[in-house]
Copies of this chain bind each other. A is one copy, B any other.
Amino acid sequence: MDYFVSLLVTGSIGIDTVKTPYGVSRDCVGGSAVYFSMAASFFSPVRFLGAIGADCPFDLKKVFKGRRVDLAGLEVREQSKTFRWAGSYSGAMNQAKTEAVQFNVLAEAPPKVPDKFKDSKFVFLANTAPVLQIELLKQLKRPRFVAADTMNCWIRDHLPALKRLLKRIDCLILNDSEARMLAREDNLIIAAGKVIRLGPSVVVIKKGESGSIIRDSAGRLFVLSAHPAEVVKDPTGAGDSFAGGFMGYLAGQGKTNFAALKKAAAYGTVVASFTISDFSLKGLTKTNRRDIDRRLRHLRKLTQV
């Protein structure tokens, strides 16, 4: 087994209902671990860890058929129900409005890391309670590069646990409003520096249609534009797809130097641009690595000063 390409993700599997100006997608496959894995699998094999209930209407084996996603970490809990989320987007479609949410299996104990996944070197902890993210990390032997996502409710209500997590991870991926909230600082460049001082050696701040910035503990900075999109059918999963492209590229290359982080973020933004082009996973499943590389070249051309 290749030492470098062991990439583990843990996060949600969701039954999503999404409404946008382009239409409605009911009870479709969603969730952070699903978007992440689909995106990362263009670059690296993925080890999948997550839980569903007996009610899950889709078969994840079929969803990931032909893709390098190892579902050994998928727990089907017969007594539980799958996480459900319903949301809508309007206007500039920068932010989802949650219409309904049923945590179900996500409110239970997190899935157990299978023995064969415990040596994973690259790890992505999708957004969930920081205590659960820490518990998951404790199940792993010496990972090399751990990235985590978080969100406003954990920053607001679980800050001590989140700060403990930040001391154990290498990279925090979060959006601009979350970064401002966590750093208590409106200027994003300063906010990025303040997040670094909380623990991670790398911070990636996502700004939606306005791209992203990376800052590291050596003070290096990278500013990346998003691929401009005229058609945004469904932004759900954009952030997790970005993280998937980002971590997938790093794991596939077995590198975490700043040049690799920059290219990884560029792949992340390109993969996310496919995600938002259609509902649910359709934008991702109809693309391939060649399309992704072509769009990366296009992004370079569009942004070259």
Q: Which of A's residues lie within 8 Å of B, judged by CB?
A: 91-93, 180, 186-190, 193, 207, 209-211, 213, 221-226, 228-230, 232, 262-263, 266, 296, 299-300, 302-305
Partner of A302, one of B91, B223, B228, B229: B223
Q: Which 7 residue pairs are nearest across A and B when measured between Cβ atoms?
A: A210-B210, A92-B186, A266-B305, A223-B225, A189-B228, A189-B230, A91-B186
A186 to B210, CA, bound (A): 14
How many copies are assembled?
Answer: 2
Contact between A232 and B305 (Cβ–Cβ < 8 Å)? no
Q: Which residue of B lies closest to A229 (CB)?
A: B189
Q: Which residue of B lies closest to A193 (CB)?
A: B230
Known: A189-B228, A213-B228, A263-B305. 5 other contacts (CB 8 A): A91-B186, A92-B186, A223-B228, A266-B305, A303-B303
Contacts of A230 in B (CB 8 A): 187, 189-190, 193
Contact between B224 and A187 (Cβ–Cβ < 8 Å)? no
Contacts of A193 in B (CB 8 A): 230
Q: Which residue of B lies closest to A227 (CB)?
A: B223
A190 to B299, CA, bound (A): 17
Smallest beta-carbon distance A266→chain B, Å: 4
Contact between B189 and A303 (Cβ–Cβ < 8 Å)? no
Contact between A188 and B211 (Cβ–Cβ < 8 Å)? no
Contacts of A303 in B (CB 8 A): 222-225, 303, 305
A213 to B103, CA, bound (A): 40
A20 to B262, CA, bound (A): 34
A190 to B225, CA, bound (A): 17
19 contacts between A and B (CB under 8 A): A93-B186, A187-B229, A187-B230, A187-B232, A188-B209, A188-B228, A189-B229, A189-B230, A193-B230, A207-B210, A210-B210, A211-B211, A222-B303, A223-B225, A223-B302, A224-B305, A225-B225, A299-B305, A303-B305
A299 to B188, CA, bound (A): 17
Contacts of A232 in B (CB 8 A): 187
Contacts of A228 in B (CB 8 A): 188-189, 213, 221, 223
Contacts of A180 in B (CB 8 A): 92
A299 to B266, CA, bound (A): 17
A224 to B232, CA, bound (A): 20
Contacts of A226 in B (CB 8 A): 223
Contact between A296 and B305 (Cβ–Cβ < 8 Å)? yes
Contacts of A91 in B (CB 8 A): 186
Contact between B221 and A302 (Cβ–Cβ < 8 Å)? yes
